[in-house]
Structure 1
Amino acid sequence: MSISQAIGPHLPFLRRYARALSGTQDSGDRYVAASLEAILEAPEEFPRDVEPRVGLYRIFQKIWSGAQAPYEVPEEADDQRVKVTQRRLSSLTPRSRQALLLTAMEGFTREEAGQILDADEDEIMGLLAKAIEEIDRQTATDVLIIEDEPIIAMDLEGIVEGLGHKVAAIADTRSSAVAAARSHNPGLVLADIQLADGSSGIDAVTDILNDFEVPVIFITAYPDRLLTGERPEPTFLITKPFQEATVKAAISQALFFESSARMN
């Protein structure tokens, strides 16, 4: 099997990780593109001692690390929100966030995360502990949950409140979600894409974002429907069935980028 065949199925998820790490689709995709170019230019250097998915993320990690030390905001990043986020990323414990995203969101074991980050298991455990501390320090906010399955909505409510946030409302249709957003002005939205009356969580979020800016985390059993590369994609995407740690990691990252923008 060729390298392209081996890593092809994993590219949508690497793009998800890159966006969560960098904060924007454009920035994340640039890092992924640079990683693919590195593989094409020197295929003999692709790691053969690990699974292809681990090797792909290891190559990405080398590209990302090389850009971070020292890190300079690219000249083309004229959006102030992007600039502030990039500055924050260059100064706030990036490895702890990477360890958390790799294990909680991407589903790697601690051993595999260590192979990607070139760290032993003790360091990975320390990075994860530090990441949890960062989650605990997040500023409390009101959260809108858009979810039509009551049990899942209850699970999300418990996770959100366990992190010190408040659930402003739970909506199960596009119209009720938009009405709740306008009424409560939430600081974060957790959204399913298939809602009770056949409406779309994507459309609900589009309506909400037309009114005001708010970070959004999509939660879906069909992530491939949103990772097509054919339209603007969500920065934060969680696959059902989800783990509590996955949701915590995504909430932490989403609020990190939002607070970065507001610090300007």
Structure 2
Amino acid sequence: MRIIDLSSPVDASFFEPDPVVHEILTPAQGAVHMSEEMREHFGLDFSPDELPDAEFLSLDRITLTSHTGTHVDAPSHYGTRASYREGGPRHIDELPLDWFYAPGVVLDLSGREPGTVGSDELKREFARIEHTPEPGEIVLLHTGASGWVGTRRYFTDFVGLDGGAVHLLLDLGVRVIGTDAFSLDAPFTNIIQRYRESGDRSVLWPAHFAGRDREYCQIERLANLDALPAPYGFHVACFPVRITGAGAGWTRAVAFVDDSRPS
């Protein structure tokens, strides 16, 4: 069994519209911090000098959004309306774990100009790989955008799905759709330009807004999809971090490939 990492890193040196702030306390600084915390919260006096090498443990403080790095979007991310259930859309901590470990299918959407991909293009890709996604399978979109991770281009040069393409996958029983791009929708610049030209509100984030009427999750900002040896025949694990009441949770997405199986 081979494990392929499908995750992009959280890196404070990368360009991000919402910058990552990463503060590192060294083991020596961690000793001082621990001493101060023990005194404040537990009334204990303990000097860092009593520790070997006057060091305790390192500590990382990170400020970032739950949509930084590889993450799973919950239905509550798409809006407050959920026409498919009473009580509103579910948050990331409320979703069943069996959604996030399943057979995977990767579709090649690379080499296209920024914009949207429709249902007809997905059907042509199904025919090319000789496989139509089955209920519960996790569909991954290889757009090639992960090659620009860490740069401004990562946020402007990729393709997303239109509403019809999302509904096609959901009609097939898919509950989790992933992409190696910043968004499952087209780039913001592309969406706004098409909206200004047409005045058609249906072009505004149709992939996300489809989640107001159909319950499903997205995995955004995947990586290494070109390392998968075949379009299907592998499993994906993408369990989201359990953040109470959140619209998304980070994930270390991986693929499990059984190289002993015929391709």
TM-score normalised to the size of structure 2? 0.30
**Higher strand fraction (1 or 2):** 2
TM-score normalised to the size of structure 1? 0.30
**Higher helix fraction (1 or 2):** 1
